[in-house]
Structures are given as C-alpha cells and as structure tokens.
C-alpha cells in the first residue's frame, strides 16, 4: 500500500508530505486547490511522461517520492529481488522517486537504485492502479483482463503449471531448432566425411606400413647398384685374376712361415694374418650367398611404387604428411560418430517436443474451460454492480479469442478481453472505445469491486469517478469504494458528499496564498487530515456546492452528520 507521498517544487506545491493509511481515503477541496496536482505527482513516480513546465517557478527541479509497504505484495518483492532492487535495511519498503530538471531531463530511482522509466512503470503497475479519464488505466490493457479473469478463477497452481510447461517447451523447442539447423548443415559435412572415410578405408593404411614400404622401396630401387658393388667386392676378395685380398694374404702368410725358422718375434703377426685370412674366407662365403640370394624383383618395386604414390596422393589432398593420415582417419571417424549421435539427440528432443506440447494442450484446455465458466460468472457479477451505479442498460461480456495452439503461450490457448455495450442493441466494444469518461470510470469501478478479492494490485486510485452522477448513484459509488477499501487501499478524489462521507480517512486540499506588502505574492497548496468535527463541516460544504462559504445551516450540518453516521 501507499504510505507516504513527498512532493517538492511541483506546480504550486513547494513542499508537501502526505501520509496515507489502509482503507478508503477521500481527497476533497475547492476547485483549483490542487487535488489533481497530488495525482499528477503520484503519476510521475509511476513513470508518466513529464516536462519542465511542471517545476515550480522558483526552483530548478521537481522531486517526488512515493513510499510503499510491500508486506502483502510477494509478487512485487519477488520482482524487486529478481532485479536486485531490494535494499538491505527494510525489504518491505519500496521507494519510487522521480526528479524532473529544468533542462527537460528526468531521472528515476527504485529504492535508491537508478532505473529506466520502463522499470519504474513495471514496478508501479504492481503497486498501484490509477483510474482517471482514460489515463494510466491498466483496465484498458487486455493483458490486465486476462490476469483479472485468471485471478478470479483462483487456481494459481494451474496457471503456474501452464507457464512452467511453456518455459520448458520453448527452451526445448529452441534446442530442437538449433539441432535441426545444425543437422541441415551437418548433412553436407557428413557426405564429405563419409567420402573421405571411404577413401581412407579403401587405402587401409596399416600401422608401420609406411616405414616398411619406404625401406623396401629403397632396397629394391637400388638393387642393381647393390649387386654390382657386391660383385666388385667379391672380385676384390677372391675372383680377380690379377690381384685379390685372399691371394695377397696367402702370400704374406707364406713369407712369414719362411721367416719363422729364423726368428720368433713375428709370431703375433702371423697369428693376426691367419685370423684375417679366416674372416676373409667367411666374408667371401657370405658375399657369394648374398649375391646368389639377391633378387631385383622389378614387379614388386612397381607395386610398392604405386602403393606409396596412392598414400602420398591422399596426403596431399588433405594437406598432410603421409605419416599423419592415420590420425586423420581416427578424427574423421570420431566426427562421423558425433554427427550420428546428434541425429539421435535430435530425435530425442523432437519426442520431448511432442510430449511437452501434449502436456501444454492438456493444461491449456483445462484452463480454457475454467475461463469459459468463470468469464460468465464474472460478467454476471460485474453487470449487477454496473446497474447499481446507474447504468442499468450497460452490459459487460468476457470475450475469449482462440490463438495458435502450435505456438506455446504462457497465457494459454486464447486472449481475453472485456467488451461493453452501454446501450440496448449496441454491439459490445472494447473498454478503450467507450466515449464517456464517466461511464468508463463507473464500469472500471464495478470491475475492480468484483475482482478486488483476488486482484494483486494493492492500491486503487479513482480520480473523480463520480463525474456526472449524484443522489443514490453517488451513494452506491461511495459504498462500493468503501467496500474496496475494506479489502485493500483506495484513494478517491471526489466532489460528491455522498462519496466523501464513506471514507475511512479524509484529506482536505486548500490553497495557501502568501502575501507581501499587503499583496498576494505566491500561491501554494497544502493538505491536511480532517478531524471528525472537520469532516462534518467539509461534507456540509460539499452538500452546499463549491461556493467555499462556511456559514453552514443547522440543517446542512445535521445532514452531514447523518451521512457520516450512516
């Protein structure tokens, strides 16, 4: 509820602080005293547009702060907490502040945190609803109609379950669309990777094969050179007719044998040459065996050459070294497996999408049935109240318009709108198209009276809802406003004594003229709460018109006393 409104340098208000209490607060005063100024200042704290023209002539800025108690507003506190706008001191209090400077700029704060006007409007709509001749009326918004109808139904769990399923469905659908798009992109990649894998599978490169082929290729490719060198080496050892290592070594041994009869000093040399002769003989044997076993095999060489050419060709295609093909083969296999798993995930999420849609339709259809039944009951009760407010020919109906069931909406399968016919035979029209502000105010009042038991808006403001009415209708308006005040907080600017007499709290607005040298120098506004005696005199004044005279007759005072007692 609104607990205090602080106004500085706004219009003709220099400094004003107004304290409010629960129940029905009436605001009265003579014409031009500044009643509308109070609501205008309050509207600024709720995000209304402003210009520098509202600043007092002797000031550089206007500063308005509205204090709210959110003790009974868990939705507002939850929103403030979610948006990190709660203070650490008193988390039940919410301060909305607006400053308008003489350069035309304005700034806004919530609990001391700077915010945008949109944020100010969002939290303001949770705390207060102002009804004043087509301005700042949430009842002109179809979203409010849906909210009021769902609150009237009273099944909060069903509405929340629907919203939760929609959140899950939308999140799942985003993932489904993302994977579907990826799947389309992947299809081309899968074809390419499958082709590359088939190529590598056909190549069938085995571990260590490349090194083995390179070694065999080098050996076969140099076969002729190797065989010629081996034959040359064999010739040097034993098969040269002119000169060989074997023949020269045998001659050396023969010479040493002749010297051995003369001296024993050369015996170690003889032993070494004997060993060398034996090793040369063994080398000759091995050389002959190698030459005999050696096979050039040009067919095998061509086969290896083609195999290596195929390996290098695929490596060049992928811009890799041949020894990196095995790693590429492994990576491509993993990628293809990943794409196949993506298809499985896509199929699973698609199944979840169908399941969530079915759950959504079940909950939405159940809510639709509740809305159909509750809409008729709500319209019937509102029409009874409208009749009491002097509009016996007016009829309100609750229209449900089906939407697209394939597009998940947290609001269900339909939109809701209150339609009104003010005259017999007239087609029902939206509230926004009602020409008369007085009619709209009374219809809005009737709607609020019925929905107040379940409405989440704690403070309702009615600006001259009694325009164009009087007598018994005015008494009905006052009674309905007092009934609303019994369930929450109602602020009502009124010119009707029948309405003002119903208030729990009565605030009186008056002009304050400051004089200088015997002449009026400045005009201001003041507001004060009336005592019981003062209430009687103010009601009597209102019964006598707006003349401002305080010469009340005993009859008018008695009538005022009677109205207040009733």
Ranges of each domain in the chain: 1-132+464-529, 531-566
Q: Does 307 or 550 have the greater pLDDT score?
A: 307
- pLDDT the model gives residue 136: 43
> According to the model, what pLDDT value does residue 443 have?
85
DSSP conformation letters of 375-403 = HHHHHHHHHHHHHHTT-TT-EEEEEEEE-
Pairwise CA distance, residues 145 & 431, whole Å? 11
Residue pair 458/127 in contact (Cβ under 8 Å)? The answer is yes
Instruction: Take residue 526 and report the two structure tokens written for it.
Output: 């003041």
395-431: string of b/e by CB count within 10 Å (b at 16+)? Answer: bbbbbbeeeeeeebbbbbbbbbbbbbbbeeeeeeeeb
Q: Does residue 561 carry a pLDDT above 80?
A: yes
Does pTM surpass 0.75? no
The pair of structure tokens assigned to 173 is 């659908």
SS3 annotation, 195-238: HHHHHHHHHCCCCCHHHHHHHHHHHHHCHHHHHHHHHHHHHHHH
Residue-wise pLDDT tens digits, 54-70: 888 888 999 999 999 98
Strands laid side by side in the 2-10 sheet? 13-19, 2-10, 61-69, 93-101, 106-110, 113-115
Helix, coil or strand: residue 519: strand
Q: Which of 366, 359, 444, 369 is CA-nearest to residue 400?
A: 369
Using one digit for the tens of pLDDT, what is the confidence trace for 285-312?
877 776 665 666 677 777 777 888 888 8
Q: Is the pLDDT of residue 522 over 90?
A: no
The Cα 19–Cα 23 span in angstroms is: 13
Which residues, other chains included, contact 202 with Cβ-Cβ below 8 Å and sequence gap of 6+? Answer: none
Bridge partners (DSSP) of residue 55 are: 10
pLDDT for 448 beyond 80: no
End-to-end Cα, the chain, rounded Å: 27
For the ranges 163-172, 369-378, 537-546, the maximum mean pLDDT occurs at: 369-378
More confident position, 1 or 221:
1
| Residue 292: predicted pLDDT | 63
Q: How many CA atoms lie within 13 A of 430 on its CB side?
A: 13
Q: What is the CATH number of domain 1-132+464-529?
A: 3.40.50.300
Confidence category of residue 549, pLDDT binned at 50, 70, 90:
low
């Amino acid at each position: 509820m609104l607990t205090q409104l602080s106004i500085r340098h706004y219009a003709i208000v220099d400094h004003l602080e107004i304290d409010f209490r629960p129940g029905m607060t009436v605001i009265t005063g003579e014409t031009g005293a500044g009643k509308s100024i109070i609501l205008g200042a309050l509207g600024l704290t709720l995000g209304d547009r402003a210009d520098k023209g509202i600043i007092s002539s002797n000031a550089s800025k206007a500063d308005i702060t509205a204090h709210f108690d959110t003790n009974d507003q868990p939705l507002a506190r939850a929103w403030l907490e979610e948006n990190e706008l709660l203070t650490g001191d008193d988390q039940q209090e919410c301060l909305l502040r607006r400053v308008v400077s003489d350069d035309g700029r304005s700034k806004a704060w919530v609990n001391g945190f700077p915010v945008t006007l949109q944020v100010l409007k969002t939290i303001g709509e949770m705390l207060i609803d102002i009804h004043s001749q087509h301005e700042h009326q949430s009842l002109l918004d179809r979203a409010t109609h849906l909210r009021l109808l769902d609150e009237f139904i009273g099944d909060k769990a069903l509405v929340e379950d629907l919203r939760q399923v929609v959140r899950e469905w939308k999140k799942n659908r985003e993932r489904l669309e993302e994977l579907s798009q990826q799947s389309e992109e992947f299809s081309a990649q899968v074809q390419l990777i499958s082709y590359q894998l088939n190529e590598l599978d056909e190549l069938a490169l085995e571990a260590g094969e490349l090194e083995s082929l390179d070694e065999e290729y080098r050996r076969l490719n140099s076969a002729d050179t190797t065989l010629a060198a081996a034959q040359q080496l064999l010739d040097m050892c034993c098969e040269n007719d002119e000169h060989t290592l074997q023949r020269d070594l045998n001659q050396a041994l023969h010479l040493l044998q002749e010297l051995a009869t003369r001296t024993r000093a050369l015996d170690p040399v003889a032993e070494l040459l004997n060993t060398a002769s034996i090793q040369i003989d063994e080398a000759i044997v091995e050389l002959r065996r190698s030459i005999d076993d050696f096979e050039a095999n040009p067919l095998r060489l061509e086969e290896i050459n083609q195999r290596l050419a195929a390996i290098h060709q695929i490596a060049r295609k992928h811009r890799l070294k041949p020894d990196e093909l095995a790693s590429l083969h492994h990576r491509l296999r993993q990628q293809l497996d990943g794409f196949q798993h993506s298809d499985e995930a896509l199929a699973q999420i698609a199944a979840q999408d169908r399941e969530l849609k079915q759950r959504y339709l079940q909950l939405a259809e159940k809510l639709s049935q509740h809305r159909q039944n509750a809409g008729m009951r709500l319209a019937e009760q509102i029409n009874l109240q409208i009749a009491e407010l002097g509009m016996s020919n007016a009829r309100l109906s609750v229209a449900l318009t089906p939407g697209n069931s394939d597009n998940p909406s947290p609001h269900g399968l339909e939109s809701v709108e209150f339609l009104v016919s003010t005259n017999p035979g007239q087609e029902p029209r939206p509230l926004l198209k009602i020409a008369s502000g007085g009619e709209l105010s009374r219809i809005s009042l009737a709607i609020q009276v019925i929905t107040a038991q379940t409405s989440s808006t704690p403070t309702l403001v009615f600006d001259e809802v009694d325009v164009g009415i009087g007598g018994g209708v005015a008494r009905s308006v006052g009674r309905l406003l007092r009934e609303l005040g019994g369930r929450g907080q109602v602020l009502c600017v009124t010119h009707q004594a029948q309405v003002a007499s119903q208030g729990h709290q009565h605030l009186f607005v008056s002009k304050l003229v400051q004089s200088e040298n015997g002449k009026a120098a400045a005009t201001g506004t003041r507001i004060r709460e009336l005592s019981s005696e003062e209430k009687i005199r103010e009601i009597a004044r209102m019964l006598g018109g707006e003349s401002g005279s305080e010469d009340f007759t005993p009859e008018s005072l008695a009538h005022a006393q009677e109205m207040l007692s009733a």
